[in-house]
Chain A
């Protein structure tokens, strides 16, 4: 069954509502695949805190993990759910009222 866009978007917005989780995603977007230790160092957060947020981000599909060399687990950010949420934002950002106000004004008083 395909994912439900509403469910995916809800997960994205909940995940992004937290400053620390936004910081983790931003850091993964900026630096690429990283370990929890890398993130903890870059963001001045405890490793436990980072791990907790990574688990939540993984639940929302925003982060995937794979085993790197040795016992290092690498986390990387996943953009698909964000793209779904983008549709939501696009629907909310569509400004037909503004455009149609301008159309009405133009029809009422076209410039010569």
Chain B
């Protein structure tokens, strides 16, 4: 079995889109179900530093897309990778209305990146080498 590059979950929620959107796109919302503390600005190009007290861990969410009521997306580091590892996965929350509320699709992609390829690409100051590998993920990543 290959490394799963993408993890997807779909959730049908009996709540209006506004309410789900609020839980995803505000610091207050994010800390109520996701992390225990969050600092920063939930806006494209900004970082949100999230803390998880129970694991004594933190992650920087590099916010990529804040498309009100429909898409919230960010990039963050590979869990367990050493500090300085350039690999990032792309996490996207997509909302769509349903008859009974909201369908939420969560996608995290980029697990199957090779660290050396990515490293090499960033040293060379271009991302061509892994662009083909990662497809849509790359469109959202900053140029190295």
**Cβ 8 A contact of A96, one of B9, B13, B19:** B9
Q: Which residue of B32, B104, B117 is within 8 Å of A106 (Cβ)?
A: B32
Mostly helix, strand, loop or mixed at chain A's interface?
A: helix
Q: Which residues of B contact A80 (CB under 8 A)?
A: 115-116
- Say if the beta carbon of B67 comes within 8 Å of chain A: no
Determine the chain A residues whose CB is within 8 A of the CB of B113 once the complex forms.
87
**Which residue of A has the minimal Cβ distance to B89?**
A90
Check if A99 sits within 8 Å of B34, measured CB to CB. Answer: yes
Interface size on A, residues (CB 8 A): 29
B115 close to A107 (CB less than 8 A): no
Residue numbers in A under 8 Å from B116 (CB-CB): 80, 83
A97 in the interface (beta carbon within 8 A): yes
The answer to whether residues A107 and B19 also contact, given A87-B78, A88-B3, A93-B79 and a CB cut-off of 8 A, is: yes
Contact B33 A99 (CB under 8 A): yes
Report A73-112 CB contacts with B as 1/0, cut-off 8 Å: 0000000100110111111011011011011111110110
Contact A2 B111 (CB under 8 A): no
A2 touches B114 (CB 8 A): yes
Cβ contacts B111-132/A at 8 Å (1 or 0 each):
1111111000000000000000
With A6-B2, A84-B114, A96-B106 already in contact, the answer to whether A90 and B33 are too (CB < 8 A) is: no
- Which residues from chain B sit less than 8 Å from chain A, CB to CB? 1-5, 7, 9, 11, 13, 15, 19-20, 23, 32-34, 78-81, 85, 87, 89, 104, 106, 108, 111-117
Known A83-B116, A93-B79; 18 more pairs at CB < 8 Å: A2-B117, A3-B114, A6-B3, A9-B3, A80-B115, A84-B115, A86-B80, A87-B112, A88-B3, A90-B79, A91-B5, A91-B7, A91-B111, A94-B7, A97-B9, A99-B33, A103-B104, A106-B23
